[in-house]
Structure 1
Amino acid sequence: MAQTPQSLKEEQRRSANYHPTIWDPSAIKSFSTPYTYELYGTQLEDWKQKARKLLASTKGTVATLKLIDSLKRLGVAYHFQDQIQQALDQLNVVSDDLSTVALHFRLLRDNCYPVTADVFEKFKGGDGKFMDSISGNVEELLSLYEASFMAIPGELILEEVKGFCNQSLKILLGKMDQVERSLEVPLYWRMERIEARNFIDSYAVDDSKSSVLLDLAKLNYNLIQSAYQKELKELAEWWRELNFKEKLSFSRDRLMEIYFWATGLSFEPQYAKSRICSTKYACLATVVDDIYGSLDELESFTKAVTGWDMKAVEELPGYMRAMFSAMSDFTNELAQQTMAWTFCPTSKNSGLYYAEHI
């Protein structure tokens, strides 16, 4: 059967030779886990209740600060936001211990309290520089270094802190495993799910650990993973149905990478719809970025997209029509979901679906 000039033109379009994805839909569909909110939701609630009692019964400034820090790094702090805020409201830290002051400062800044960096001035010597005794204390340096990343523009003292700690910690490399990790990626820059997974292992061998928090963190992590698997399977089916592998073979398939990015934006299970919509949007935007064509084709594509001009769509080559159709379907889907959420915010079609299970 003779090919038309248009079909030959589409076949001859260049490719950037992007590497193919290793995450095909069948691999994603094979994911499985024994953990579900239906089976383990009650047990999760039991551990959360025990953790609330632990937080309420903890006495002492240092113990309370360390407990709050552990809750956050274990990835379960979102269950106890009100209690954590109440505990931070009641703390009045007056201490000469740099580790305590730095931890208190970091937690307050992380929870949006208007705390000033002047609390670190008292740890300077008469020459205006940080005391030499600090430079040999790994725990104090780490705590101060992590706090320095909570700086806001114009806080020169925290920039000074960061430089001082960075130089001092490099000398102490090998003293603690955490030193190398913090120098590479400080706490404030880490993805919360990755930090939770890594910290669960570290916390498990800590002599001062709480078995309640450890059990809660493990179960909570596995349950959130089960939610992610469910969302990924939905996304993989959506991507398979678009059939871009055939219709736009030159484009990138980065579904898994983009979903991973979306979990970094909002990891909590109740934000399922946010992750799904963000992933779909970024996947489509990536494909649009890969589109090429003649100036006339690109102008027609731009006109079609910016004005939803169906006449302009008819003038597009087949792969551009497929792209426009996918964008149009996603936009309509998003509009319908927004309307459903507006009028029925507790619907299972809303972004609050998983809130019923946590």
Structure 2
Amino acid sequence: MGCYQAEDVTFRPLAHFPPDIWGEHFVTFTPEDNMKMEIYAKEIEPLKEDLRKKLFIMNDSVDLGRKLSFIDAVERLGVSYHFESEIEDMLNKIFKEFAANNFDIDYDLYNTACQFRIFRQHGHKMPCDVFNKFTNSDGKFKESLRNDIKAIVSLYEAAHLRVYGEPILDEAFAFATDVLQSSAPYSELARHALKQVLHFGIQRVESRLFISFYEEDETRHETLLKLAKIDFNRVQLLYRKELSQVLRWWHVLDFKTKLPYARQRSVECHFWSIAMYYEPQHSHARMLLVKVLLVISILDDTYDAYGTFEELELLTEAFERWDLNAMEQFPKEYMKLVFQFVYNIYNGFAKEMTELGKPYAAKFAKDREEQARGHVASGVECYMKDYNMSREEVVQIFNKMVEDAWKELNEEFLIKSRPGDDDLPKAVLKRVLNLARVVDALYKVIDGYTYSAKLIKGDIISTYTQPIPL
């Protein structure tokens, strides 16, 4: 029975969210699917060993540019997690060689920008003055570069790894953006770069796309391509297995009936967890995160799109007490359902984390996911009102804030000569980066979480249900 009551005539700020678009689509995971996943896992092992030997040989014999190009392909194909230590060792050695030569390497714009991006992605602060040779005396990039769209895309991607105090990269970004916008009507490469920056992209979505590009590359490495395809299909099945478990659990809760005001987005929440932890070995983290995301979603809709001020005050007080007995004072059934759901999720989370030797994790998560609040105007609307500005002016200001925030995040990834005690481990920073990426991908155009049919439906389908032909 739903939580609505016939006599309830209270005004509520209902948002009338779009319904779930998936239904029973991902619920089934068969024994045949499981068997296929195991077969893929066995096929991957000899391919990994072949490539591991190649990486070892490349350490000593191949020129630096080819090494970096191979590493870039491994990473963009989504299989770098198999070779993390080998890749880090190679990059450390290559960076030292570049530094020993004062980074004075005779490469064209395409390769210089690619190498800059790769080093920055791994925390090596390759100096931005490697781009000086591509500029005129006035600091502007040479107009003759405009005709090489592939190189301009490479420059555009590299410019997104800039930090504060790098005006040449700000100029590179402006120059590349102008060229790509002019080229977009006749260049698919330019259109895709403008639509989705590699540094901001969701890894599995970008890997799926890059596999099709790499397949057409005349310089492709066949063993690497085969590994990427089989590994994508194996991990895709793992994601589907996880998602089927999430959906069965969610259907038992029956919030579609009991909390009809709330968004039903369990598929989107699991997709979000993939964006944060795409590597297959992080299955447990994904399964925990998807539940946390669903808690946030239910709370967000309860506070913003259903509860009255008086009801939400009671609910907030109950969360602060963290006591099931607090439910006795709730006047509405939906409040009991929401409180019980959040309470059970976090207590289960605490139990699991304690068993894993991390009892502090659940308390940290509970103290922080999301501050209780009433229905409020958006940040843009508040800024417009406070400063008497138009929406267009405020959006420009907010875009600049986002740009600066990315510079700060990029700076955090650069290896410090003397890391302080307060520096976060790179593994943690990587998840922060992935969170920024998923927010960019889901919210830069519209609210892609709420209106997933308009923005990420295709990405979800390709991630979960479209294996790559072998």
Matching residue of 1:50: 50
Q: Are 1:138 and 2:149 an aligned pair?
A: yes
Partners of 1:71 and 1:213 within 8 A in 2: yes
Q: Are 1:65 and 2:68 an aligned pair?
A: yes
Superimposed CA distance per residue, residues 139-194 of structure 1 (whole angstroms, 9 cap, x where no aligned partner): 32121111001011332211110101111233333665322111221111111101
Matching residue of 1:288: 299
- Which residue of the other structure, out of 337, 340, 346, is the alignment partner of 1:322? 337
Change (3 A) 1:174 1:7: closer
- Greater shift, 9-18 or 228-237, is seen at 9-18
Residues in 1 aligned to 2:257 and 2:181: alpha-carbon distance in whole angstroms: 51
Superimposed CA distance per residue, residues 12-43 of structure 1 (whole angstroms, 9 cap, x where no aligned partner): 7754322210223x322225536655333222
Describe how 1:1-358 pairs up with structure 2 within 5 A.
7-10=5-8, 14=12, 15-24=14-23, 26-31=24-29, 33=33, 36-58=36-58, 59-91=62-94, 92-93=97-98, 94-173=105-184, 176-291=187-302, 292-316=306-330, 317-342=332-357
Residues in 2 aligned to 1:105 and 1:288: alpha-carbon distance in whole angstroms: 43
**Equivalent residue of 1:263, what SS?**
helix
Counterpart residue identity of residue 307, structure 2: G
Superimposed CA distance per residue, residues 201-233 of structure 1 (whole angstroms, 9 cap, x where no aligned partner): 111121111110111001110111111111111
Partners of 1:255 and 1:283 within 8 A in 2: yes
Partners of 2:266 and 2:294 within 8 A in 1: yes
Residues in 1 aligned to 2:344 and 2:209: alpha-carbon distance in whole angstroms: 39
Superimposed CA distance per residue, residues 305-341 of structure 1 (whole angstroms, 9 cap, x where no aligned partner): 1211334311112111011111111011101111222
**Equivalent residue of 1:118, what SS?**
helix
Residues in 2 aligned to 1:125 and 1:336: alpha-carbon distance in whole angstroms: 62
Change (3 A) 1:175 1:79: farther
Change (3 A) 1:262 1:44: same
**Equivalent residue of 1:52, what SS?**
helix
Counterpart residue identity of residue 77, structure 2: L
Partners of 1:35 and 1:222 within 8 A in 2: no
Residues in 2 aligned to 1:73 and 1:175: alpha-carbon distance in whole angstroms: 25
**Equivalent residue of 1:21, what SS?**
coil
Name the TM-score, length of structure 2 as normaliser.
0.68
Residues in 1 aligned to 2:25 and 2:146: alpha-carbon distance in whole angstroms: 50
Residues in 1 aligned to 2:77 and 2:140: alpha-carbon distance in whole angstroms: 35
Give the fraction of aligned pairs with identical amino acids, expressed as a percent.
32
**Equivalent residue of 1:29, what SS?**
coil
Q: Which protein has greater RCO, CA pairs closer than 8 Å, 6+ apart?
A: 2
**Equivalent residue of 2:158, what SS?**
helix
**Equivalent residue of 2:162, what SS?**
coil
Residues in 2 aligned to 1:325 and 1:277: alpha-carbon distance in whole angstroms: 17
Partners of 1:304 and 1:312 within 8 A in 2: yes
- Greater shift, 325-334 or 28-37, is seen at 28-37
Partners of 1:35 and 1:226 within 8 A in 2: no
5+ residue gaps, structure 2:
99-104, 359-470
Residues in 2 aligned to 1:13 and 1:252: alpha-carbon distance in whole angstroms: 19
Counterpart residue identity of residue 104, structure 1: Q
Residues in 1 aligned to 2:45 and 2:11: alpha-carbon distance in whole angstroms: 56
- Greater shift, 6-15 or 127-136, is seen at 6-15
Residues in 2 aligned to 1:128 and 1:7: alpha-carbon distance in whole angstroms: 69
Kindly tell me the number of residue pairs found equivalent between the two proteins: 337
Q: Supply the RMSD in Å over aligned alpha carbons.
A: 2.1
Residues in 2 aligned to 1:279 and 1:339: alpha-carbon distance in whole angstroms: 19
Residues in 2 aligned to 1:162 and 1:276: alpha-carbon distance in whole angstroms: 38
5+ residue gaps, structure 1:
1-5, 344-358
Residues in 2 aligned to 1:90 and 1:304: alpha-carbon distance in whole angstroms: 56
Partners of 1:75 and 1:193 within 8 A in 2: yes
Counterpart residue identity of residue 29, structure 1: V
Change (3 A) 1:294 1:104: closer
Give the Å deviation of 1:138: 2.0
Residues in 2 aligned to 1:336 and 1:212: alpha-carbon distance in whole angstroms: 43
Partners of 1:74 and 1:197 within 8 A in 2: yes
